[in-house]
Amino acid sequence: MMKRILIIALLLFLLVVPPVTAAAAQTLTFDFTQVSAAHGTVMLLTEPQTGEMGVQSEAANAGSRTALLLALSAALVALLLFSTVLWHNNRQLKAQNQRLNSLNQLRTTFIDADDRLIYLKDENLKYLFVNKAFERFYQRQAAEVIGRDDFALSEPELAQKLHAADLAVLEAQKLLVDEVFWQDRVYQTRKFPVQLDNGQYGVGAYVQDVTAEYSSRKDADKVQQRNAVLVDVLSKDFKSAQEQLDYVLQESLKLTGSEYGYLFLYDAQKEEFNVYSWSQSAMAVCRVREIQRLYRLEQTGLWGEVVRQRRPIIVNDYPGLTELKRGYPAGHVQLANFMSVPVIIENEIVAVVGLANKPTDYDENDVSQITLLMQGVWNAKVRRETQAVLAVERKKYLLTLLSIGDGVMVVDQTGKIEMLNKAAEKLTGWSYQEAVGRPYQEVFKIAHELPEKKVADPIAAALYTNQVQQLESRAVLTSKEGRKYFIEDSAAPIIDDSDGHTIGVVLVFKDVTEKEVQRRQIEYLSFHDSLTGLYNRRFFEEEMNRLDTIRNLPIAILMGDVNGLKLTNDIFGHAYGDLLLQRVAVVLKKVCRADDIIARWGGDEFVLLLPKTTLEQAEKIKERIKQQIAQEEIKAIKGSIALGCGVKEQEQESIYAALDRAEHEMYLEKTLTRQNTDNLLLHHIINSLHTMNPLEKAHADRVSELCVKVGRALQLPEQELRKLKEAGYLHDIGKVALEDSLLNKGGELLQQDWQELKLHPVIGFRILNSFENTMELAEYVLNHHERLDGTGYPQGLQGPEIPKLARIIALAETYDAMTNAAPYRRALSKEEALQEIKTHSGTHFDPEITAVFLKVVS
């Protein structure tokens, strides 16, 4: 290429610079002058040059022209060379950029194919790039992440953890591998320093969800730990059963990570607990003066439920639990969470283990570990105690088989039963005498839970392989009477030490029906809302992602917010609020199709996923839901719901965008209809009270009218008169929460009745404070039973602490109540009532208002 460029440049030079002769000098001079003039060069020739001087001058001019032409040619050649080199370099650069882009795209594709979270941060710990797995995890596009740090993307607690780990990498300047625990998940992080193009160090990372591996590892560790304890229990020479169980209790704390624990023996016949062992940690902080050793079952609160319900009890929010607890004595250790497990031997509870204050929630795995441990330990305890009596009379292997709580069956090499223990008799329904000599298949009848599936025979497998066999999960044993049990078992060959032949099989099996039922209940609750029976938010989100396919389009989402739940809770209690949510759930299930997904989103919000549903169809469903819920009524609360709808119609649309639209529409409707909804709710509450007790309507009208008269006499402003009129009418609205039997009770009210009746000002305050239009009236209703001397209720206010309008209402209501009969009192005459008011002026009633009131009424 360079040779070609030089040849072209030389040819140009020869063409541009022809040979110059003396004969052509004058012509050349003339032409050059013209050329110079044409380029703006001014050359003055005063006269033709002659002679030697002229010739020399002409020669000099010719030389100058030649030099100029040479310079121009050289410049042209240089320009051409520069352009050519520049073109060549650009071409190489373009090719290099294409290769780099291709490599970069390949790198991105490679990294995005990884299901781990991969990212790189700069020296300020802001993201430089992230892969697709990162985008899916955070539900953000890379463009939303690049240039931002963890505090802008994650919750503060998680962001602080990530930030601290990044700083540790930068400080250590080496790969750091860690496990991060967040929201019931475990993530392995591999973080390492990366030198950036500016010389600074950033942080690169690979993050992988290892929850399953972690759980498996922890479960395996716990099994190993439990087995080690059992080995110790079986092998160590404890001085007594007390020492043995004290040891086991301490190991139970380690196994579950608990702080406190106890072991109570239980006598089922006496229904009596015996405090057998407290953990050392509990005794160290316990300040109970007299520790009781014996407890009757009926004396116990929550911890006795393990016997009453015959199942493990888990409470992960002990301070928040109100039911079943009966409190504990002064000086007792404080509990944060609590687990109690029964030790059941031969279908009889013989002991109870209690553990408390685990740093995390107790779960089914804790129950399983402690159950298996304590059953083994208890069996060891029983064996120890039995050995003390029968050590001389029975062989150790037979004692073990007969004393354990699990079912045990011994089969010879031909498959005939040689022995079965009491537990095996109970489970199979066959007595020892009936079973011995029979083929084991007649007694030990097992099948898979699902009829279409088969279960392997562990006894036959043990005889054939000479190895221990485990029964498959979901195996069901059918007893002689037809009862079915979920069981777990293992079959071990009996080897003749003399020749190594298998001479039989020992089968150990136990009833795990309750455990299986509990496991399924826990599994059910992990995807369902316990109050309504609907799916929970976690399951809904999983189903939303699963059903987000083209064959289900269009997919509609309805989101609803139940109106009046807080008001229901405030007026009637949470039991009625729960009932309202349950009624709504029933309506949703009735209106929707079998394939629709209905979930409780949280609190008073519900969400529906409707596959293959157009916007028009969804709107019709929405209207049917509203109509059905409007027919529901809880006490004085009329059912209503705000609903929003979003539809995904195209494959490229995000299902979460439809969810967001549904939520936005729901809140928009709730906002726009709030005033009307509040008015309807309040109107319905008032009507319910007056329908329930027509006397209250007449009483409210009279009190309101009398209040206005007194207010006018006091020359109150019109705005205050309006408040006084409305507050007078609504002063007893809180009685809507009281039972009909109390409001219409004949005869004298009991002390308990009065205590309930005195709640109505507070309830009325809650009701009016729930509506924007009546908030300003709430304090008058709350205080209309206060007295000037502080003997009133509910707050015991005195003098000027009582709002003026409340003092007026108090007078008007008292007068009307005295002069009109009620089911529980006779009416006074006008004169008697006025005399009562005069008597209590200055103590119960404001003297100034009383004076005006007497004039108005007189």
Tell me the percentage of the chain whose pLDDT exceeds 90. Answer: 34
pLDDT number for residue 475: 86
Cα separation, 485 vs 449, whole angstroms: 10
Question: Rounded to the nearest 5°, which phi and psi values hold at 207?
Answer: -125, 130
* pLDDT (mean) for 617-632: 94
Domains and CATH numbers, the chain: 2-87 (no CATH), 114-209 (3.30.450.20), 216-390 (3.30.450.40), 406-518 (3.30.450.20), 531-672 (3.30.70.270), 680-857 (1.10.3210.10)
Cα separation, 833 vs 231, whole angstroms: 86
Structure tokens belonging to residue 424: 């095996």
Whether the predicted pLDDT of 42 surpasses 50:
no
Are residues 259 and 357 in contact, defined by beta-carbon separation less than 8 angstroms?
A: yes
Q: Which residues contact 397 (CB under 8 A, 6 or more apart)?
A: none
Which range (413-422, 518-527, 685-694) has the least confidence?
Answer: 518-527
Helix (H) or strand (E) holding 202: strand 201-209
The number of angstroms, rounded, from the C-alpha of 509 to the middle of its chain's C-alpha atoms is 38
Report the candidate in 189, 617, 615, 618 with the shortest Cα–Cα distance to residue 607.
618
pLDDT number for residue 40: 38
Beta bridge partners of 845: 841
pLDDT number for residue 221: 65
Task: Please state whether the peptide bond connecting residue 694 to the residue before it is cis, i.e. omega within 30 degrees of 0.
Answer: no
Please report which confidence band the pLDDT of residue 724 belongs to, taking 50, 70 and 90 as the band edges: very high
Report the candidate in 666, 658, 662, 660 with the shortest Cα–Cα distance to residue 555.
658
Cα separation, 97 vs 107, whole angstroms: 15
Q: Let me know how long the chain is.
A: 858
For 463-498, the pLDDT digits (tens) are 888 888 888 777 888 888 889 888 888 888 888 777
Please report which confidence band the pLDDT of residue 22 belongs to, taking 50, 70 and 90 as the band edges: very low
For 408-463, the pLDDT digits (tens) are 889 998 999 988 888 888 889 999 888 899 999 898 888 888 888 888 888 888 88
Q: Which residues contact 3 (CB under 8 A, 6 or more apart)?
A: none
Whether the predicted pLDDT of 20 surpasses 60:
no
Residue 274 CA: distances (Å) to CA of 264, 327, 351, 487, 632: 5, 19, 9, 31, 51
Please report which confidence band the pLDDT of residue 402 belongs to, taking 50, 70 and 90 as the band edges: low
Helices (H), 673-803: 674-692, 694-713, 718-730, 740-743, 751-757, 760-769, 775-782
Q: Please measure the distance between the N-terminal and C-terminal CA atoms of the chain and give it in whole angstroms.
A: 125
Based on DSSP, count helices (H) and strands (E) in the chain, helices before strands: 32, 24
Report the candidate in 652, 634, 614, 619 with the shortest Cα–Cα distance to residue 568.
634
- Helix 537-547 vs helix 655-672: crossing angle, to nearest 10: 130
Amino acid symbol at 244: Q
DSSP letter, residue 772 = G
Most confident of 331-340, 656-665, 827-836: 656-665
Exposure letters 19-51 (e unless 16+ CB within 10 A, then b): eeeeeebeebbeebeeeeeeeeeeeeeeeebee
Q: Which residues contact 202 (CB under 8 A, 6 or more apart)?
A: 120, 121, 122, 123, 125, 128, 193, 194, 196
* Three-state secondary structure readout of 117-182: EEEEECCCCCEEEECHHHHHHHCCCHHHHCCCCHHHCCCHHHHHHHHHHHHHHHHHCCCEEEEEEE
Cα angle 501, 505, 506; round to 5: 135
Which range (157-171, 498-512, 724-738) has the least confidence?
Answer: 498-512
Amino acid symbol at 648: K
Amino acid symbol at 369: Q
Please report which confidence band the pLDDT of residue 599 belongs to, taking 50, 70 and 90 as the band edges: very high
Average pLDDT, the chain: 83
Strand 201-209's sheet: what is its strand order?
Answer: 127-130, 117-121, 201-209, 185-195, 176-182
* Secondary structure class of 219 (helix, strand, coil): helix
Please report which confidence band the pLDDT of residue 399 belongs to, taking 50, 70 and 90 as the band edges: low
* Bridge-based pairing state of the strands 260-267 and 348-356: antiparallel
Whether the predicted pLDDT of 854 surpasses 60:
yes
Whether the predicted pLDDT of 342 surpasses 70:
yes
For 809-851, the pLDDT digits (tens) are 999 999 999 998 877 678 889 999 999 999 999 999 999 999 9
Strand spans (E) along 415-552:
417-420, 445-448, 469-470, 475-478, 484-495, 502-511
Cα separation, 714 vs 717, whole angstroms: 9
Which range (101-115, 176-190, 226-240, 592-606) has the least confidence?
Answer: 226-240
Amino acid symbol at 338: F
Helix (H) or strand (E) holding 349: strand 348-356
Which range (326-335, 750-759, 805-814) has the least confidence?
Answer: 326-335
Report the candidate in 695, 607, 693 with the shortest Cα–Cα distance to residue 645.
607
pLDDT number for residue 10: 55
Torsion of CA 90, 94, 97, 98, to 10 degrees: -170
Please report which confidence band the pLDDT of residue 43 belongs to, taking 50, 70 and 90 as the band edges: very low
* Bridge-based pairing state of the strands 555-562 and 605-610: antiparallel
Residue 496: Cβ-neighbour burial (10 angstroms; 0-12, 13-18, 19+):
exposed
Residue 836: Cβ-neighbour burial (10 angstroms; 0-12, 13-18, 19+):
middle
Q: Which residue is listed with tokens 């979901």?
A: 474
Whether the predicted pLDDT of 382 surpasses 80:
no
